[in-house]
């Protein structure tokens, strides 16, 4: 009698570690099992930003523009936190693939010290520059104070955000996508609740014919930042508690060990994370340059640009979720020395990303008025935002190829060349085109440049994926 095979994600991941063969159906099933929760986590994260934008946008164009002005800089700091955590979480994925759980727990302990120290330094730097930042970005004087206050509060909560990213990345690298996903949804819900009471002032609302006085702090832009930070505090505590006490393989109460980072672990973390951090910094520099290009176009253009970026995020977050799954699958295949299996997971995840984001592009084109309309009722901002989204919809399949292929290369511990490819694409193509088109075409020219650049980026990432040079970084130790 043929023995049935457990199809849970944990059992299928064990097949990778044990060097056992996997059918195409099992590979597809495992990809879906890891991708769906990761997509939910990414989606809830963007919904949280969308809610912030919608709530603040209801206060008018100026408050929305205050957040939009510093949005690329907040992305820079958040991405730096992500790069720092990835340097360690990829090592954990490799340890899992090799079946060395003691090594994985050792890396986790070291990561807590190294990454949280980095988060504290980043917070201090952000708070130090918060006063001058809006001026550096060329923001209108009437929105500078709000933008400065928002970034100050955001920076103060960076160590908490760093902990959320680290704990979530460690769980995902071990193959646990569900807990980070569920807690991300919780963070989104808490963000709504905190924002509701912190952004708006005390007011009367009508419920079933009854008038109820709803208390509120009336902090506006500052309330959005504080609400998000408080939601992060709750989730950071819960996620870290689960990681350290309940995770089957990573819980630290299994044994005692040193938290002092070793030279070898730090060196590998820097090898993986430093190129990602530098790339993110340079890309964000390009995004900030884009903000500088958009800023002279006026408050309406700044607000519309910010809303369109937030709305588009709802469409490309599935790509990042599948990219997270690709990093885990390729990373564990790397640790197990299964080169051909890594290649197959790479193709499955990239093609899945292109298909899903292609559909999302259609949804974004058709639903653009609803997506932007949920965040603003200012006609000028609405028209510009819809125009931007409909241009960008055509770039979603190419963007998917770049996002997921990047996740594949990260899982293989190969980050230098992909980082250089991203930098070349954004600085040589996007910024050059945007600077050339904005004076004559306004915001339309900026988003047309972005569309062209994303298609170009997707093409060069697909070429590198198919050529297969990234596979040479994976030691061949077992047949796939």
Average pLDDT over residues 168-193: 90
Distance CA 426, CA 432 (A): 9
Helix, strand and coil content of the chain, in percent to the nearest 5, comes to: 80, 5, 15
Distances (CA, A) of 234 to 218, 227, 229: 22, 11, 9
What is the residue-averaged pLDDT of the chain?
A: 88
On the question of pLDDT at 452 being above 90, the answer is yes
Place of tokens 């059918």: 23
CB hemisphere CA count around 348 (13 angstroms): 23
Q: What is the pLDDT of residues 455-473, one digit of tens each?
A: 999 999 999 999 988 887 6
Go through 396-408 and write b for each residue having 16 or more CB atoms within 10 A of its CB, e for each that does not.
bbbbbbbbbbbbb
Q: What is the pLDDT of residues 434-444, one digit of tens each?
A: 999 988 899 99
Higher pLDDT, 122 or 412: 122
Distance CA 65, CA 298 (A): 10
Higher pLDDT, 6 or 351: 351
Rounded to two decimals, the pTM is 0.79
On the question of pLDDT at 454 being above 90, the answer is yes
Q: What is the pLDDT of residues 403-434, one digit of tens each?
A: 999 999 998 888 889 989 998 998 899 999 99
Distance CA 243, CA 168 (A): 9
pLDDT at 479: 43
For 234-275, the DSSP string reads HHHHHHHHHHHHT-TTT-GGGS----SPPHHHHHHHHHHHHH
pLDDT at 244: 93
Q: Which two tokens stand for residue 245?
A: 């006490």
Taking a C-beta distance cutoff of 8 angstroms, is the pair 66, 299 a contact? no
- Of these ranges, 37-51, 102-116, 326-340, the one predicted with the greatest mean pLDDT is 102-116
pLDDT at 6: 55
Average pLDDT over residues 283-294: 79
pLDDT at 478: 45
pLDDT at 155: 97
Place of tokens 């440049």: 449
Of the given ranges (72-81, 267-276, 280-289, 382-391), which has the lowest mean pLDDT?
280-289
pLDDT at 295: 80
The three-state secondary structure class of 213 is strand
The three-state secondary structure class of 468 is coil
pLDDT at 274: 87
Residue 349 phi/psi, 5° resolution? -70, -40
CB hemisphere CA count around 450 (13 angstroms): 27
Q: What is the pLDDT of residues 76-118, one digit of tens each?
A: 898 889 989 999 999 999 999 888 999 999 999 999 999 999 9
Contacts for 134 with CB less than 8 Å, ≥ 6 apart: 69, 70, 143, 144, 145, 147, 148, 151
On the question of pLDDT at 69 being above 90, the answer is no
Q: What are the sequence ranges of the domains in the chain?
A: 24-473
Confidence band, pLDDT 50/70/90 cuts, at residue 175: confident
Percent of the chain topping pLDDT 70? 95
Average pLDDT over residues 118-130: 97
Distance CA 80, CA 84 (A): 6
Taking a C-beta distance cutoff of 8 angstroms, is the pair 247, 50 a contact? no
Distances (CA, A) of 449 to 138, 279, 298, 455: 21, 20, 19, 10
**203 - beta bridge partners?**
214
pLDDT at 2: 42
Contacts for 236 with CB less than 8 Å, ≥ 6 apart: 160, 161, 163, 164, 167
């Amino acid at each position: 009698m043929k023995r049935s095979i457990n199809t849970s994600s944990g059992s299928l991941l064990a097949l990778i570690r044990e060097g056992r063969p996997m059918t195409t159906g099992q590979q597809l099933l495992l990809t879906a099992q890891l991708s769906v929760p990761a997509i939910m986590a990414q989606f809830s994260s963007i919904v949280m930003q969308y809610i912030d934008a919608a709530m603040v946008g209801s206060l008018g164009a100026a408050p929305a523009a205050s957040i939009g002005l510093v949005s690329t800089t907040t992305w820079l700091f958040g991405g730096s936190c992500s790069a720092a955590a990835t340097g360690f979480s990829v090592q954990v994925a490799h340890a899992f693939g090799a079946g060395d759980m003691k090594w994985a727990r050792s890396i986790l302990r070291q990561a807590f010290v190294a990454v949280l120290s980095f988060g504290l330094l980043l917070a201090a730097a952000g708070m130090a520059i918060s006063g001058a930042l809006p001026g550096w970005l060329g923001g209108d004087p009437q929105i500078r104070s709000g933008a400065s206050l928002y970034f100050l509060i955001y920076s103060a909560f960076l160590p908490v955000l760093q902990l959320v990213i680290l704990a979530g990345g460690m769980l995902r690298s071990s193959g646990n996508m569900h807990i980070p996903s569920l807690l991300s949804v919780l963070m989104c819900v808490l963000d709504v609740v905190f924002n509701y009471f912190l952004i708006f002032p005390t007011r009367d609302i009508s419920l079933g014919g009854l008038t109820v006085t709803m208390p509120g702090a009336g902090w506006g832009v500052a309330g959005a930042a504080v609400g998000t930070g408080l939601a992060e505090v709750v989730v950071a505590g819960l996620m870290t508690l689960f990681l350290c006490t309940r995770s089957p393989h990573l819980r630290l109460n299994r044994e005692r060990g040193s938290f002092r980072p070793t030279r070898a672990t730090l060196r590998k973390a820097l090898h993986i994370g430093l190129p990602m951090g530098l790339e993110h910094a340079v890309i964000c520099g390009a995004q900030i340059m884009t903000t500088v290009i958009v800023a002279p176009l006026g408050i309406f253009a700044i607000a519309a640009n910010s809303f369109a970026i937030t709305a588009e995020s709802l469409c490309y977050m599935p790509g990042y979720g599948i990219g997270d799954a690709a990093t885990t699958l390729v990373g564990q295949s790397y640790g197990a020395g299964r080169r051909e299996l890594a290649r197959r997971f790479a193709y499955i995840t990239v093609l899945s990303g292109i298909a899903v984001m292609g559909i999302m592009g259609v949804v974004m084109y058709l639903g653009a008025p609803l997506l932007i309309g949920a965040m603003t009722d200012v006609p000028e901002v609405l028209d510009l935002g819809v125009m931007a989204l409909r241009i960008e919809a055509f770039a979603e399949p190419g963007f998917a190829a770049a996002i997921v292929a990047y996740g594949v290369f990260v899982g293989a511990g190969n980050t230098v060349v992909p980082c250089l490819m991203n930098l070349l694409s954004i600085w040589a193509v996007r910024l050059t085109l945007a600077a050339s088109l904005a004076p004559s075409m306004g915001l339309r020219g900026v988003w047309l440049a972005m569309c062209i650049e994303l298609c170009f980026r997707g093409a060069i990432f697909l070429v590198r994926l198919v050529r297969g040079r990234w596979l040479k970084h994976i030691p061949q130790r077992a047949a796939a």
